[in-house]
Copies of this chain bind each other. A is one copy, B any other.
């Protein structure tokens, strides 16, 4: 089963917790045991598993911004988002999780986040169970 939902982002760089939306799709799928595949069909956003704590979200963005700072990017002469493409690729746009007894197996602090790298935009997330 394939389902999708939209996420509205407000900042250029932003982490948005999508765990509840993915878990609702898993519940409604009635799949007892299997895999849940989460995918952002975008090249300037990513999917990551991390803790939902406001300070940590700022720390994440500080580290990611530093990785792409101090460059004179060629791509920015065409479209000013080389940083967004590179961070999206580094983080990756997909995550796979295990479903057991109709629930996602995930650690206590493992939340599923969409990371926006070129917002604000309307993003799509595809979930296959």
Contacts and interface: CB of A to CB of B under 8 A. Distances in A.
A39 B85 contact: no
Interface residues of A, number: 54
A120 interface: no
A53 B41 contact: no
A128 B35 CA distance: 9
Nearest to A71: B62
Nearest to A68: B63
A50 to B, nearest CB: 4
Interface string A30-50: 000101010111111000111
A42 to B, nearest CB: 5
A55 B96 CA distance: 31
A110 B89 CA distance: 10
A8 interface: no
Interface in A54-94: 54-56, 58-60, 62-63, 66-68, 71, 73-75, 77-78, 82, 85-86, 88-94
A53 B78 contact: yes
